[in-house]
Amino acid sequence: MTEHPRGVARRLVAVTRGGDLDPRTQTGALDVLAGPDHRDRLAAVLRELVVATADMMLCRAESSGPDKAFVLDLRDDTGDVVDVDRLDPPVRALVRALLAQLNSRFDDVDLQLELALRDDPRFDPVDVLVLALLWTVGSIEWCEEHDAPTPGWLV
C-alpha cells in the first residue's frame, strides 16, 4: 500500500460525507478494494476507522478506565433490540472489533477484523467497510454537534 491507511480512510469518510472526490478514478477512494493485496489494505483501513470511532465514542462516556467495561446496545430501524449473535458473521465481527477497541483489548481487534474480512462468497467485504464508514461518520457528526474533539488525522 503506497498511501497510509489513514489517508485512505480520510478520503473514504470525505466521500461518505458527500465530498466531491470521484471514488472511481485510478487514485480514488475505492482503490482500497482493488489489487492483489486489497484484503490487507482493507483490513488496515478498517482498523483505522474502528480506532477512530472508538476514540470518538469514548468522548461520550462519562468515565473510562481499567475498572470499566463498554457494551453496545444494538437496535434496528424500529428500535427493537438486536441480538449480536444473529448478525451476519462479518458484521458481528466488526461489532466485536469495536467493543475490543473500546475495552483496550487490542489483540482482539485484529482477530475480529480478520474474521470480518474472511473470504466467504456469501458476504461482501464492502458491506463491512460501509458499516464502519457509517459508524465513523455518525461519530464525527456527534462530536461536531457536541463540540467534542475528533481525531486530527480524520478531518
Predicted pLDDT of residue 150? 94
What is the C-alpha separation between 153 and 134, in angstroms, rounded?
A: 18
Residue 28: what pLDDT?
59
Domain tally, the chain: 1
Res 29 pLDDT > 70: no
What's the pLDDT at 18? 86
More confident residue, 37 or 133: 133
- Evaluate whether 11 touches 5 at the Cβ level (below 8 Å): no
Range of the domain at 50: 5-154
Q: Is the pLDDT of residue 22 over 70?
A: no
Q: Which grid coordinates belong to 125? A: 467485504
- pLDDT tens digits, 51-82: 999 999 998 876 666 667 788 888 989 999 99
Residue for cell digits 467485504? 125
Residue identified by cell 458491506 is 127
Compute φ and ψ for 81, nearest 5 degrees. -65, 140
Phi and psi torsions of 75, nearest 5°: -130, 150
Nearest to 42 by CA among 136, 117, 133: 117
Asked whether 129 and 111 are in contact (CB, 8 A), the reply is: no
**pLDDT tens figures, 93-118:** 999 999 999 999 999 999 999 999 99
Neighbour-count burial for 78-108, b at 16+ CB within 10 Å, e otherwise: eeeeeeeeeeeebbbbbbbbbbbbbbeeeee
Average pLDDT for residues 81-95, to the nearest whole number?
93
Strand partners, 75: 81
**Stated pTM of the model:** 0.86
pLDDT computed for residue 1 by the predictor: 46
Report how far residue 151's alpha carbon sits from residue 155's, in angstroms, rounded to the nearest whole number. Answer: 7
